[in-house]
Amino acid sequence: MSIDPEVIDSSSSADFNAVRCIPKWAIYGAIGLAVLVVVGILKTLLPLILMGLVLGCIWKQAKTH
């Protein structure tokens, strides 16, 4: 005895209302990757910003004297 699969009629809207299931590991992996990217960008930009501020202060002091 064979098992008949469910058939959804082509005119039915159940096809569009179906919930797409994303695995939790994919969500956690994407969040972890985003955190690593943000930390990498901050580690690159923060020293450059601080160096620019220090050089700006030195330049300002050199111009006034």
Report the pLDDT value the prediction gives residue 6, as an integer from 0 to 100.
Answer: 65
Sketch the domain layout of the chain as residue ranges: 12-65
Q: Does residue 25 carry a pLDDT above 90? A: yes
User: Which strand (E) or helix (H) includes residue 56?
Assistant: helix 24-64
Report the pLDDT value the prediction gives residue 8, as an integer from 0 to 100.
Answer: 58
Gyration radius (Cα) of the chain, Å: 29
Q: Does residue 20 carry a pLDDT above 80? A: no
Report the pLDDT value the prediction gives residue 21, as an integer from 0 to 100.
Answer: 85
pLDDT band at 13 (very low <50, low <70, confident <90, very high): low
pTM, 2 dp: 0.54
Q: Which two tokens stand for residue 15?
A: 């096809």
Q: What is the pLDDT of residues 38-53, one digit of tens each?
A: 999 999 999 999 999 9
Q: CA 62 to CA 65: how far, in whole Å?
A: 6
